[in-house]
Each structure stands twice: as C-alpha cells, then as structure tokens.
Amino acid sequence: MNRFVLNYLGIFFIILSILSFFNIIYSYYFNLYLNINTYFYTLLISLIIGISSFINNKTEIKINIYIKIFTVIAGYFLIPIVLSIPYYFSIYNISFLNCYFESISGFTSTGFTIFENIKHLDQSLILWRSTSQWIGGIYFLFSILLLIDIFDDNLKKSLTNFISFNYSETFKQSFKILILYIALTLLLFISLKLIDIRTFDSFNLAMTIISSGGFLPVNDISSIINTNTKEIIFSILMLFSYFSLFLIYNIFFLKNKTLNFFAEDIYLFLYFLLLVIIFFIFFNSNYNFSIILFSLTSSMSNIGISFNNSPSNLWFIFLIIVVIGGSFFSTSSGLRLLKIYFLFKYSINEILSYTKPNNIYNTKLKLIDSNIEQKDINKYFLSVLIFIISLFIITSLLSIFNISFENSFKLGILTLMNTVNSSMYELNNFDFFELNSYSKLIMIVFMIIGRVELLTILIIVKKFLFKT
C-alpha cells in the first residue's frame, strides 16, 4: 500500500489508541469492568496498526489526487472496523453488521443507532459511542484539507492565512487543527457544566456538538435540557459545528483582521438571523420559541437532535435547512450556504444578461474580493446534481426493501447529510435494529458518500475506466 495512505491512516489509529486508553482509565476509575477487556483489544490493535504504519518510513512519498481520495475513502471503511470492537465483544451479543453500522454512524457523525434503550448500556460504551463521533469529526476536517483542491479553490484562499498547504508542513498544520478541535471541545464541556449539566452528560454532549454528531448519552434530550434557559444556551452551543472551526481563533488571535476574511461566517450569521426572525414571526403561535430555536440550530448544524414536542409539521422545512448546511470548514454536512448563494447570484446574472445584454453585471460577492469563477460554478452545480442523483438512488433502494417512500425520502436526505433521525423529521421511532442487512449496507455506503461526496468516487471510477 502507498506509504502516504499508511502514514495518514496511522495517525488516526494512534489517536484511537489514546482514546481507548482514556476509556480504560475511566472504566477502572468508576469500576465499570463489564466491557473493559474490549478496550484493551482496541488499544492493542489500533496501536499496532498505527506504529507499524510508520516503520521503515524512509521512502519518498509521491501523492496525487487519486491517492488522496483513496486514502480518505479507505479510512471511512477501515477505521470503523476497529471502532466496532467494543460493540462486538461486549456483553450485549451484537452481530458484526450491527456493530459496523453503529461505528460507521458514529464515525460519519450521522447518529443512527441500533440501540433502542441507551439506559441499558454501561457508561463506558456510551462514552465510546461519543468517542467515535469525536474522532470522526477530526478525520472529516483533515480530509477537507486533503481534498480542498477538488471541493473549492475559492474558499481555499480564505484558509491560507492560517493553514499551509505545503506537504512538508502537513503534520505541523494538522497538529494545530487537532489542538484547536480539542480546545473547542473543552470550551463546550465547560459551557455545559456552567448550565448545571452533570459531568458525564456534559462530556458526551460536548463531543456530540463539536463533531456535529447525533449520539446522545440518554434516550431523550429533554431529561438533560429541561429548562428554557438550557434550551437556548444549548441551541447557541450547537452553532459551534455550524460556523467555521477557525472563527473563534480568528477573532481572538488573528492579526490584521479584515471583513473579507470573515466573509463566509458573516453570510452564515445573516442567514441564521433571517431564519430566526422568520420562525419567530410565523411559527411561534404556541409560544414555544426555545424549542423551535433548538430544532432550527440543530438542523442548521446537521446534528439533528430535537425534543419530542418539536413541531413535526415543519419537517420539510427542517430538511431543506439540513440540505443547505453550514460552513465549508466545519464538521457540519450539507451543500453549504455559500455555494448555494454563489449559484443563485450567478444564475440571476445569467438570466439578466439575456434580458439586457448591453449591461455589465458584477460577479463579485460583497465582502469577498475574488470574482465567481466558471470552474467553481461548475463544481457547485455538479454538487447539487450529484446530491439529487444520490438522493434518488438511496430513496429508490430503501423503498425496494419495504420502507415507505416518505420514510425512504427522509432517511435518504438525513443519510447523505449525516444528520440523526428525530421527532422534528417524524422519524424518532424508526427502528434501525430491525432493518434487513441490505438496507443497512446501503445506508453504510451512503453515510460515507455523504462525508466524501459522490464527486470524489466518480473521479476514482474515471481513473480506472479511462486509463490512458
């Protein structure tokens, strides 16, 4: 296997071994011995794989875009195999497919679960579920950097003030991102503790929020978030995975700040503010705005959790918000707001140019110095087209395996957008454990596609089908 692939994945196996060690310490400290041996297996296997990937690391590494794509996709299939070890060797007698489904769901920060009652799980396994989301979030951020040339040249310019894309600087820059990711997780943990949420729940929820995941340490979030104040504060905290990972860093530590550098986050904030105003005016008839705000921010950040009394009649609106998504460099999924705005502005200019051909139309967005380039527009349009095709395929496949069309359509969107099912989408009672094997395999594949985008897979397919 290519040395770059081994090195890249080896980093995450080493991180996984460290997280396994922390889980062992936690289990010993709280006398949770039921499944402790499973974390020893995970520690040993992940550590062996991680260290062996760096042995004899003297050969020159040559990489191209195909190797980068293969590396990212391989990680989404291989790392969850090790993540499934604590599930498979636990006392709960779970089949390997169900263990792998749970691991993929966590690693892709989707949040679909085969467990009907979280209260029946021991705390170490609940912590492991949150851990799988957390490491999946950092893997996703690293993967964006690795594949940024495919996704967006324009947004790459706004990151270069903080990130070096020189290969020799890869490990140093990755370490910076990891430190920032850990710091934000701790900030979320402290914030949750300040609103009087117990330590165990605060830690698990912090890992859920920062990774845009959907796993909860309880069956019903209302048992933890049980006051209006907590609902509003938790809603604000969920925006951490909606805005750029670097937003707080840029505000406090970046020198020579300009509005141009914060352009995407400003657009995201204006979009959020507009939605809050609309929902407050038109959908606040029952004076339950804190619950609506919770559902709104949960959908915008692609987390997806909600209260059982969330307004389910708005499920289609919430799904549209899920599809739009948040910042390009965040752990949220979605087509991304700025890309959609680019497409909208470009389309309006094209229509106007036909009606008034003698006029000159500005293709530059406010707060952004660069013009909209045709190659970027083509990428954005292709992203939308690929999403529609992917949604059609997964909806059709799930419908074939005895899932109603409406549920297949909703699950298709949530799977591709890596967002958990909940009451605001009228899917809180959906039983993933009872799904047949084919449906689970389909959802596993499309959860990964939701993270890497079908575009990257098509590039790999093109490489092998059209060799020159």
Would you list the DSSP string of 408-427? HHHHHHHHHTT----GGGT-
pLDDT below 70 — which residues of the chain?
1, 56-62, 149-173, 253-260, 287, 356-372, 454-455, 458, 460-468
Determine the pLDDT at residue 344. Answer: 84
- What is the per-residue pLDDT for 418? 95
In the prediction, which pLDDT does 4 show? 78
Q: Locate 246 and state its tokens.
A: 């670097």
User: For the chain, how far is it from start to end, CA to CA, in angstroms?
Assistant: 22
pTM more than 0.85:
yes
Question: What is the rounded CA–CA span in Å between residue 22 and residue 26?
Answer: 6
* Residue tagged 């070890």 (tokens): 85
Q: Rounded distance, CA 155 to CA 108, Å?
A: 23
Torsion over CA: 320, 322, 324, 326 (sign): positive
At residue 371, the 3 state secondary structure works out as strand
The length of the chain in residues reads 468
